[in-house]
Amino acid sequence: MITLRLQQIRVPPGQRIWLEAISWHEFEAIVEELGEHRGTRIAYSKGTLEIGSPLPEHEKAKVVISDLLKILLDELDMLWESLGSTTFRREEIAAGIEPDDCFYIQHQATMVGKDRIDLAVDPPPDLAIEIDVTSTTALQAYAALQLPELWRYHNRTLQIFILRDDTYVLSPGSPTFPHIPVVEGVTQFVEMSRTAGTAPALRAFRQWVREHIQS
């Protein structure tokens, strides 16, 4: 049998590889070997490990959408804690995932001051952001962890998925922000950031949110 180290495997930007029949302990060893400071993202569910390498446009969309969400929370005077691309995992359900960004909103107070997360006792994030998720591995991992709301940016459009009966269903809006047309707004201002620049888009989005709150 030939043994390869993960450092010998190169995942080109925009590509993904899948490893099958990976045990939980092998998954944890792989996460440890890959380390925290890397450019890849992982998802693990029921023995399948996915390793993906994002494109530069992926990173920009991630940052802009995260900033838009923070503006929305700020204008609505909602508290939040972000854990970025933290690796969330639970051995008993054989699932692990690294979102592009994630937020505790309803459970914000519970997470203040926590340096380590144990999903056996701590709640999962209330909302996660993923850019161009096309893999069933990632969605299965999120569902296994019982993450209630997933924002997916795909083909320059925001999609919102809500967990119902352990399955994600597409929703026309966000239950976290029921009175704001989030899909329309985020899609519009991410596109504006591509054509007019990030700072003007963020300022315009803040004004857009204020107008919707007032109306």
- CATH no. for residue 123? 3.90.1570
pLDDT of 8 above 60:
no
Which residue type occupies 72? L
Return the pLDDT at 196: 97
Distance CA 103, CA 110 (A): 12
Domain carrying residue 175: 56-214
Task: Report yes or no on 25 lying in a domain.
Answer: no
Please, where are the H alpha helices in the chain?
A: 24-34, 56-75, 108-111, 136-144, 182-196, 198-214
pLDDT digits (tens, 9 = 90+) for 13-32: 667 888 888 898 888 888 88
Return the pLDDT at 18: 85
Pick from 163, 169, 208, 164: nearest CA to 186 = 208
Task: Report yes or no on 32 lying in a domain.
Answer: no
At 151, the pLDDT band (50, 70, 90 cuts) reads: very high
Distance CA 175, CA 189 (A): 20
Burial class (CB in 10 A: 0-12, 13-18, 19+), 24: middle
Find the range with the poorest average confidence among 10-14, 51-55, 175-179, 196-200. Answer: 10-14
Task: Report yes or no on 44 lying in a domain.
Answer: no
At 1, the pLDDT band (50, 70, 90 cuts) reads: very low
Task: Report yes or no on 51 lying in a domain.
Answer: no
Number of domains in the chain: 1
pLDDT digits (tens, 9 = 90+) for 28-43: 888 888 776 666 788 8
Q: What is the pTM of this model?
A: 0.83
